[in-house]
Structures are given as C-alpha cells and as structure tokens.
C-alpha cells in the first residue's frame, strides 16, 4: 500500500513545523526519516498516525485519503519513542490490546500473542510480567510486538532505538529489519542517527526546518548529498585541503612523509584509483606549498595534531595551511602527533555545493 | 488535536466557575455594597498586622524545619500529617499541657505546616540537579557551598510556594486560633468568623475576604505551576535520606500522641453522646462530597486543559474560613439557610481542588498512553474500559479517601455553614472544646486525627493493586 503525503503543512503558535511536504512512499519499503531535533520529522509521523491534524495537505493510503479518519481507525500503528506501554497490563495483555479490539478472543488470541512474543524474542516467562519489571530492550521488543499485533499496513517508528545502548541497538535494529521484511510491512522510521538510517532504509528522507531537504537511496545520498546540510546530517565532512569542496573523512588519506604507499580507504564503495603511490617527498617538503597536484591527483602536506582510536577505526586530525582536517583510517596510523604527513584524496570524492549551501 | 466535546467542557467550566467562585464572590460583593456600620479600617489593619506577624514567624520556622523533614520522610507519610485536622492538632496541643496562647497555636500550626512545606520541598527535591551537584563537588565545593550555589536556587520556587501557602493558611486560620489561642491570639480568619457569625458585619467580612482573594489568585497560579513541575518529575529519584528530620516528625506527632491517654482514661459522657449524634450526618456529607470530588478531580486531572488548573486549584489557596463565610453570605442573599446541604456545597470546591491536584500528579504523562491506545485502534469506549478505568479507579479511590479525611476534619468552613449548634462532628467538637469538655474532646479529636491514618492505609492498599 503506497503512502502518499501531499503538501503537508503544520505550524505551532506561528512556528512552522512542516512546510509543504510532499512525497510518495512505496509499499513494503523501509523508509527512514532523518533530521536534526525540531526538524519536523516526529510531527510528520504523528500526522500520518492521526495523532496530530495538519493545517493543510493530505495523507493518502493507496490513493484513499486518511485525513477524515481518527487515529483509532487508521491502518497504521506506531512504535513510540518511550514505548508508551500500558503500565497496568502484563506483557501478554499489552500485545493482546489491539487484537482484542479487532474481536479476537480465546485460544486464537493466545496463540497470536505467544507467536508475536516469540517473534520478537520474548519467551513465555514474560507473559505476565508488567512493563516496569522489564529492561529497556525487553520493553522495546514488547512495544514492537504490540504494534505488530494489530496487523497494520504501515508501521510508524518514532526513534525506537534512541533510548538503548549501542550493542542493544544493533541487535534490535537487525530484529526490526527482519520482522518487518518478513511481513512485507511498509515502515516509516524516524531517527536522527545516520548509522541507523543508512543501515535500515531502502529509501531515505532528510528533513531540516520542516522541509524535505533530500530523498533517495541511502548510499546515493551519502555519496552525493545535494547540500552541505544533508551531507552533515548523514555523516561527518571535512574541508577539502586548499579547496572549496568537502570530503568524507574516510576519503582523506594520510601517511608519514618518507614512507611508501598510501592506504586505499574505500576501494569497494569508490573503486576509482585511490592508492597514491606518487606523492614524492620533494613535493611534500616544499615549504611554500600546502597543496600540490601530482599528475591529476591533489595532494597536500600537513602536521598531525591528534590521533584517536574510535574502536573499529582511527581518526587523525591533520593541520594543513592553518585549517584542521579529519582523516579516518581502518587501522592504527603510522604517525604521531606533531609529525609531518602527506595527505591525498580522490577528486571524484570531493563534495561540491552551491555557495548558499556551503 | 482539537479537544472533543469542547462545548461540554466549556459548559462544565462555566458551571464550576459560577458554583465555586462567582456565587460566593458575588455574595460578598453584594454584602459589601449594603449600607451599615463602616469597616473600621484601623482596627482591621491592627488585626491584619498581628495576624501577619504571627504568620510570618510561624512560616519562617516551618520552612527552616521543613528541609530536614523533607529529606527524612517519604511523601505518603508527610501527606498523612498534612491531612490531620487542624482542630485535632489544636486540642492535642492543649492536651500536652500548654496553656492557650501563642505557644499552643504555634505547636498546633507547626504540626501541620512543617509537613506541608516538606511535602512541597520533597516534590522539588526529586528533580534536584544531581549532575550539577556532582560537578560542584568535583570542582571542590563543600556541602554548604553546594547548597548555596546549586540546591538553594533549585529549591527557591518550592520555598516561595510553601511560604505563600503557609502564610495564607496561618492568616486564614480560625479553628486553631479559636481553640488553642484562647482569645489571646487573633487572626484574620478569626476576625472574619466573628464579623459574619457574631457581629453580623458583612462589609468587614467582605473586606477581609478581598484581602485573601488578592493573595490567593497568584498563589493558585503558583500551585498549578508547582503541580505541573511535580508531575513532570515522575522519573526523578528520591532525595538522599537524612535521619535528622525524624526528630521533627516527632514534634509534629506530639499533639496527636498527647490525646491518647485522656482519650482512653476519661469516662464516656454527655459530650460523647452529642458528638455521636452528629457522626452519621458528618460521614454522609463528607462521603458524598468526597466521592463526587474524586470523580470530578479525576475527570479534570485526566482531561481538562492545563490552563484550567489555577481556576480549579483556587479553592485550595483560599482559607476554608473565607470559603465558608463567602458561601454563607451568598446563601443568605439567595434565601438559603445553613445546614448539611450548604456544608456540602461549601466543602466540595476544596475537595475537588485536592482531588484535581492529586489526579494531575498521578496522571502526568497519561496522554501518551491515550495516544498509544488510539493508535492501536481503541475508540472512546474502548479507551474508557481498557485504559482509563483500570488506571483511574485506584487513584480515584485514594483521592476520595483523602478528600473524605479533609471534609470530616474541617471546622473552618463548616463553622459558617453548618448552622447554630454545629451539625458536623468537627464543629460540634470545637464548640465542646471551647467549652472545656475534658473527656469527649480528646477522644473524638484523636478519632479525627486517626481518620487520615485509616484513609492512608486504605489508599496504600489500593495503590498496591
């Protein structure tokens, strides 16, 4: 069932929360809505759920407008950020809430509840447990089971992983993906975490100031964002040394001057020739030049300011001509703070934006 | 989302405004407009000044004692002490052997005021900025410096609210001043009672009520704000315990404890029979108004817009004596005499305010549950059946018990509305107490003091469900 948002506009006390948002969301696709706090993404979700009313525009499901329907009659269910589990009901009763309203009773209801709990990884021992006696991850699983129990056509997820710690988040992210894929559910998932959005989404919508800034496939948007704002929302960027463009830190490579080859940081994603074998020491040591072009490749020299281990990768801060640039490496760099290094990048990876965006 | 049934809600608010606020206010205004003897402003100002000095002194003392008590005792216990009838505390202070006068008034007032201030402080303490306190300690600030730099600015709004409430209660008090003051202490509340009941001077009564109303309006607004803040602090942690406050709790319990020996040793007499005769009507009036108040309080606490809270809480900010006087004057204008019905009407707004306050605090954040229920397909009937009723009935029952305890112990408003001789237990008890009945008074005062304990035990039982 295609979900269509047509020219949605909403303001609170004169402050525009959504401005003329229009987008078509294909059936059974996992769509992530990204944006900074206050960008209007939760407002959009609540309008689709029927919990807020838009000032203008309409929401359509398979071409049929939902605008006149109250929240309780819309075929969409929400996984709330704080889960909103009913505190007076046990886990099984929370899950049974929507099926009961649909008239399901007796063994059939029990079987569905047990199947859903099992689907999200909660065993029988949870059936009578109240939400207050469950951990954050368990509550999140229960909220997912409850939202799925009413067999919605679309599942709306309002930052469902925000309150969880990193390892738990990764596991539940995979669970979300599996469970929704198996059911062929359309999902609209609000998040401000680029990693979460890039990992889950088939299609990514980026919001800012109540407007839709960009829409597209996650990898494409990451590689070629239409504006600096979108680029920054999707990950860190660093200025192009000596230029007016921007680079992803993993596309800026550094090596100690005098050493051999440079490492290729992203050969799979960008299979162009990244490996720079030809930054000569002579080029890097020219005192009056911080940026050089060797052949058709740009290069520069600078000084390492700091090195940090980020777990699965390393981050190097390099000062080039008075500006600080970031480089991310998949392994420990062979340099130390204060050391002179050569930096190189592929010009095809340089992100360039219109002046007002930059 | 637009509020459903908006015209119904507006009609309800209008009805409330007329019954709880406009009618008594109109009665007082009409009374003030009547020709009669002048107000004698100098005498009134002298009483006001005397009342203010006593109130200021007691408020300062109560606020100083409240902080350690707030750290030592949990909210249900504090509420229990707040709910003990002022009349029981006044009689208890005398039973301790204190002679009527400032000392007895001070003890009777502090036994209720300190727990009330501690209750307000404790709600604020739950949101104490732990990270700032940790940061201050980390930067080398000692306990006193941390209190001054971090804790005090955080607690200041609660202290301010408590100060206004306590000062209003002390100035508006008629019951404790009449029983424990023995004619040596005068308050504005007592002056109001005499203006209405003894001197038949409605203009003076209107002038006193106007003073209270002027202070009560901002106080109700501050109460509503404080309540919202307390509701938002549900996730907050209990403040670290400090045992020093337990000694203060002993001071608050002393007047009630002093009633035990005379209550059990003095033989039953004519006073007991008189009070026993008033018991059924008192229980019926208090019970009916408590049930209605709890229902209205839960309804408004769940569904009324937050901006209505000051109007709903205003009866809580007005001393009972002001309410009783205002309603009596208004009823006379309408040709309606004192009695159980008038007492019921007079007590109801204060009880609704108590229930509303409790419901707002209990149901803070319930809106997201309603959103979740709607999102899962629950219409109004299903939400009422599966969500609101199971959530609201234990809270409603507990609030009804609190409102009941409040109404049973009230002698401030009922002294005006119950009629000559006193048709409620508390008023009858006050009359006997002033008459010096040594047997029945401590016994029944102890009974009044234990009503909150019973209510609290039942409420705790319901809460566990």
Q: CB A49 to CB B375 under 8 A?
A: yes
Among candidates B371, B377, B390 on the partner chain, residue whose Cβ is nearest the Cβ of A51: B371
List, as ranges, residues 8-67 from A with C-beta within 8 Å of B: 49-53
Looking at residue A263, what is its pLDDT?
Answer: 43
Contacts of B247 (CB under 8 A, 6+ apart): none
Q: CB B368 to CB A80 under 8 A?
A: yes
Looking at residue A328, what is its pLDDT?
Answer: 92
Tell me what the mean pLDDT of segment B379-403 comes to.
Answer: 87
Q: At residue B160, does pLDDT exceed 70?
A: yes
Tell me what the mean pLDDT of segment B19-39 comes to.
Answer: 74
Q: At residue B240, does pLDDT exceed 60?
A: yes
Looking at residue A40, what is its pLDDT?
Answer: 87
**pLDDT tens-digit profile of B63-107?**
999 999 998 888 888 888 888 888 889 989 988 888 888 999 999
How near does any CA of chain B get to the CA of A198, in Å?
27
β-partners of residue A246 are: A239, A351
Q: For residue B200, how far is the Cα from the chain centroid?
A: 27
Which residue of B3, B376, B394 to mutate against A (max A Cβ within 10 Å)? B376
ipTM: 0.71
Tell me what the mean pLDDT of segment A278-282 comes to.
Answer: 37
Going along chain A from its start, the domains and CATH numbers come out as 3-232 (3.40.50.300), 237-349 (2.40.50.140)
More confident residue, A115 or B460: A115
Looking at residue A184, what is its pLDDT?
Answer: 87
Distances (CA, A) of A326 to A188, A261, A264, A343, B6: 33, 20, 16, 10, 57
Q: Does A244 touch chain B if contact means CB atoms closer than 8 Å?
A: no
Looking at residue A307, what is its pLDDT?
Answer: 93
Q: CB B377 to CB A98 under 8 A?
A: yes
How near does any CA of chain A get to the CA of B41, in Å?
48
**pLDDT tens-digit profile of A192-207?**
888 889 989 999 999 9
Q: At residue A284, does pLDDT exceed 90?
A: no
Looking at residue A22, what is its pLDDT?
Answer: 92
**pLDDT tens-digit profile of B446-462?**
888 888 888 777 766 76
Looking at A146-150, B224-228, B233-237, which range is the least confident one? B233-237
What is chain B's alpha carbon radius of gyration, rounded to the nearest angstrom?
A: 22
What residues of chain B lie within 8 A of the CB of A146, using their CB? 376
Chain B, nearest residue to A95 by Cα: B376
Q: CB A51 to CB B1 under 8 A?
A: yes
Q: Is B129 among the domain residues?
A: yes
Q: At residue A5, does pLDDT exceed 80?
A: yes
Taking the C-alpha atoms of residue B175 and residue A105, their distance in angstroms, rounded to an integer, is 59
Element holding B249 (H helix, E strand): helix B245-257
Chain B, nearest residue to A81 by Cα: B368
Find out whether A78 and A159 touch, Cβ atoms under 8 Å. Answer: no
Among candidates B2, B372, B377 on the partner chain, residue whose Cβ is nearest the Cβ of A84: B372
More confident residue, B167 or B203: B167
What residues of chain B lie within 8 A of the CB of A148, using their CB? none
Q: At residue A268, does pLDDT exceed 60?
A: no
Q: CB B377 to CB A51 under 8 A?
A: no
How near does any CA of chain B get to the CA of A116, in Å?
15
Residue B323: HSE in the Cβ half-sphere, 13 Å Cα cutoff: 29
Placement of tokens 């990876």 in the chain: A349
Per-residue pLDDT band at B158 (split at 50, 70, 90):
confident
Tell me what the mean pLDDT of segment B312-335 comes to.
Answer: 83
Taking the C-alpha atoms of residue A121 and residue A99, their distance in angstroms, rounded to an integer, is 20
Looking at residue B201, what is its pLDDT?
Answer: 77
Q: Is B231 among the domain residues?
A: yes
- Full residue range of the structural domain in which residue B68 is found: 13-464
Q: At residue A144, does pLDDT exceed 70?
A: yes
Looking at residue B406, what is its pLDDT?
Answer: 85
Looking at residue B463, what is its pLDDT?
Answer: 62
Tell me what the mean pLDDT of segment B46-62 comes to.
Answer: 90
Q: Count of domains in chain B? A: 1
Q: Is B6 among the domain residues?
A: no
- Chain pair A-B, CB pairs under 8 angstroms: 66
Q: CB A84 to CB B387 under 8 A?
A: no
Among candidates A53, A70, A77 on the partner chain, residue whose Cβ is nearest the Cβ of B376: A77
Looking at residue B461, what is its pLDDT?
Answer: 72
Q: At residue A187, does pLDDT exceed 90?
A: yes
Q: Does A78 touch chain B if contact means CB atoms closer than 8 Å?
A: yes
Among candidates A52, A77, A147 on the partner chain, residue whose Cβ is nearest the Cβ of B1: A52
Looking at residue B35, what is its pLDDT?
Answer: 66
More confident residue, A150 or B19: A150
Distances (CA, A) of A102 to A51, A105, B25, B169: 20, 9, 52, 54
| Closest to A143 (Cα-Cα) out of A182, A196, A91 | A91
Q: How many helices (H) and strands (E) does chain B have?
A: 24, 0
Per-residue pLDDT band at A261 (split at 50, 70, 90):
very low
**pLDDT tens-digit profile of B325-368?**
888 888 888 888 888 888 888 888 888 988 888 888 788 778 88
CATH number at residue B372: 1.10.3720.10
Find out whether B343 and B418 touch, Cβ atoms under 8 Å. Answer: yes
Q: CB A73 to CB B377 under 8 A?
A: yes
Residue A307: HSE in the Cβ half-sphere, 13 Å Cα cutoff: 18
Q: CB B375 to CB A101 under 8 A?
A: no
More confident residue, A311 or A190: A190
Looking at residue B39, what is its pLDDT?
Answer: 66
Say how many residues make up chain B: 465
Q: At residue A280, does pLDDT exceed 90?
A: no
Looking at residue A265, what is its pLDDT?
Answer: 40
A33 C-beta neighbours (distance < 10 Å), count: 29
Q: CB A51 to CB B373 under 8 A?
A: no
What residues of chain B lie within 8 A of the CB of A100, using their CB? 386
Among candidates B377, B387, B391 on the partner chain, residue whose Cβ is nearest the Cβ of A150: B377
Taking the C-alpha atoms of residue A152 and residue A72, their distance in angstroms, rounded to an integer, is 11
Tell me what the mean pLDDT of segment B287-310 comes to.
Answer: 85
Q: Is B74 among the domain residues?
A: yes
Question: pLDDT > 90: what percent of chain A?
Answer: 41
Contacts of A9 (CB under 8 A, 6+ apart): A16, A18, A19, A20, A21, A54, A55, A56, A57
Q: Is B286 among the domain residues?
A: yes
Q: CB A146 to CB B382 under 8 A?
A: no
Among candidates B1, B368, B377 on the partner chain, residue whose Cβ is nearest the Cβ of A84: B368
Looking at residue B233, what is its pLDDT?
Answer: 54
Q: At residue B19, does pLDDT exceed 90?
A: no
Distances (CA, A) of B461 to B357, B449, B456, B457: 21, 20, 8, 6
- Per-position DSSP letters for B44-83, written without gaps between them: HHHHHHHHHHHHHHHHHHHHHHHHHHHHHS-HHHHHHHHH
Mean pLDDT score across all residues of chain B: 83
């Amino acid at each position: 069932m295609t979900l269509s948002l047509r020219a949605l506009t909403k303001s609170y006390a004169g402050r525009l929360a959504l401005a003329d948002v229009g987008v078509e969301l294909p059936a059974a696709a996992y769509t992530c809505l990204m944006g900074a706090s206050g960008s209007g993404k939760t407002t959009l979700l609540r309008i689709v759920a029927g919990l807020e009313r838009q000032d203008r525009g309409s929401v359509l499901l398979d071409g049929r407008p939902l605008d006149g329907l109250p929240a309780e009659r819309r075929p969409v269910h929400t996984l709330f950020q704080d889960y909103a589990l009913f505190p007076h009901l046990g886990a099984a009763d929370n899950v049974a809430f929507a099926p009961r309203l649909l008239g399901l009773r007796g063994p059939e209801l029990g079987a569905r509840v047990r199947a859903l709990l099992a689907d999200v990884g909660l065993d029988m021992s949870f059936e009578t447990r109240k939400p207050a006696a469950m951990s954050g991850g368990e509550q999140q699983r229960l909220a997912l089971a409850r939202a799925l129990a009413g067999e919605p056509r679309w599942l709306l997820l309002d930052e469902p992983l925000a309150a969880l710690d990193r390892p738990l988040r990764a596991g539940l992210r995979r669970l979300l993906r599996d469970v929704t894929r198996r059911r062929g559910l359309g999902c609209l998932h609000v998040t401000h975490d680029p990693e979460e959005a890039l990992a889950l989404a088939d299609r990514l919508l980026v919001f800012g100031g109540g407007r839709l800034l960009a829409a597209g496939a996650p990898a494409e948007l990451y590689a070629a964002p239409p504006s600096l704002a979108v680029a920054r929302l999707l990950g860190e960027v660093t200025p192009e040394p000596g230029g007016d463009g921007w680079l992803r830190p993993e596309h800026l490579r550094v090596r100690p001057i005098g050493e051999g080859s440079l490492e290729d940081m992203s050969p799979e994603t960008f299979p162009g020739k990244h490996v720079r074998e030809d930054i000569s020491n002579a080029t890097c040591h020219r005192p009056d030049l911080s940026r050089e072009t060797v052949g058709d490749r740009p290069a520069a020299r600078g000084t390492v300011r700091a090195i940090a281990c980020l777990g699965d990768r390393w981050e190097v801060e390099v000062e080039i001509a008075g500006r600080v640039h970031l480089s991310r490496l998949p392994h420990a760099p062979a340099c130390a703070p204060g050391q002179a290094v050569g930096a190189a990048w592929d010009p095809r990876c340089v992100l360039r934006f219109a002046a007002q965006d930059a | 989302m637009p509020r459903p049934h908006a015209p119904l809600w507006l009609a309800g608010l209008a009805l409330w405004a007329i019954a709880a606020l406009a009618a008594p206010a109109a009665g007082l205004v009409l009374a003030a407009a009547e020709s009669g003897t002048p107000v004698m402003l100098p005498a009134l100002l002298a009483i006001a000044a005397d009342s203010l000095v006593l109130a200021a002194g007691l408020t300062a003392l109560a606020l100083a004692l409240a902080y350690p008590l707030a750290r030592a005792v949990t909210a249900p216990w504090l509420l229990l002490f707040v709910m003990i009838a002022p009349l029981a505390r006044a009689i208890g202070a005398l039973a301790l052997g204190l002679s009527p006068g400032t000392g007895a008034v001070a003890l009777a007032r502090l036994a209720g005021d300190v727990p009330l201030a501690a209750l307000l402080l404790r709600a604020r303490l739950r949101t104490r900025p732990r990270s700032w306190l940790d940061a201050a300690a980390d930067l080398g600030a000692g306990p006193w410096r941390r209190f001054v730099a971090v804790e005090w600015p955080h607690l200041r709004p609660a202290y301010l609210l408590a100060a206004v409430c306590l000062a209003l209660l002390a100035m508006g008090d008629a019951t404790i001043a009449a029983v424990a003051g023995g004619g040596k202490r005068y308050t504005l509340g007592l002056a109001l009672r005499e203006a209405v009941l003894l001197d038949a001077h409605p203009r003076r009564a209107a002038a006193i009520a106007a003073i209270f109303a002027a202070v009560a309006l901002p106080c109700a607004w501050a109460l509503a704000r404080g309540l919202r803040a307390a509701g938002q602090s549900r996730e907050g942690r209990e403040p670290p315990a400090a045992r020093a406050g337990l000694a203060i709790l002993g001071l608050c319990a002393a007047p009630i404890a002093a009633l035990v020996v005379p209550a059990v040793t003095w033989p039953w007499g004519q006073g007991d029979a008189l009070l026993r005769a008033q018991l059924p009507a008192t229980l019926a009036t208090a019970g009916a108004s408590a049930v209605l108040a709890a229902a209205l309080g839960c309804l408004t606490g769940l569904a009324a817009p937050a901006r209505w809270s000051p109007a709903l809480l205003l009866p809580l900010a007005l001393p009972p004596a002001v309410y009783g006087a205002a309603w009596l004057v208004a009823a006379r204008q309408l040709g309606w005499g004192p009695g159980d019905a008038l007492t019921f009407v007079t007590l109801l707004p204060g009880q609704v305010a108590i229930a509303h306050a409790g419901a707002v605090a209990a149901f803070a954040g319930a809106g997201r549950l309603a959103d979740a229920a709607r999102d899962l397909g629950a219409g109004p009937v299903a939400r009422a059946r599966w969500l609101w009723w199971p959530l609201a009935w234990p809270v409603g029952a507990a609030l009804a018990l609190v409102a009941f305890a409040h109404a049973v112990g009230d002698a401030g408003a009922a002294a005006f509305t119950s009629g000559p001789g006193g048709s409620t237990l508390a008023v009858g008890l006050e009359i006997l107490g002033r008459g010096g009945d040594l047997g029945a008074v401590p016994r029944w005062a102890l009974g009044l003091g234990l009503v909150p304990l019973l209510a609290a035990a039942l409420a705790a039982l319901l809460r566990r469900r």
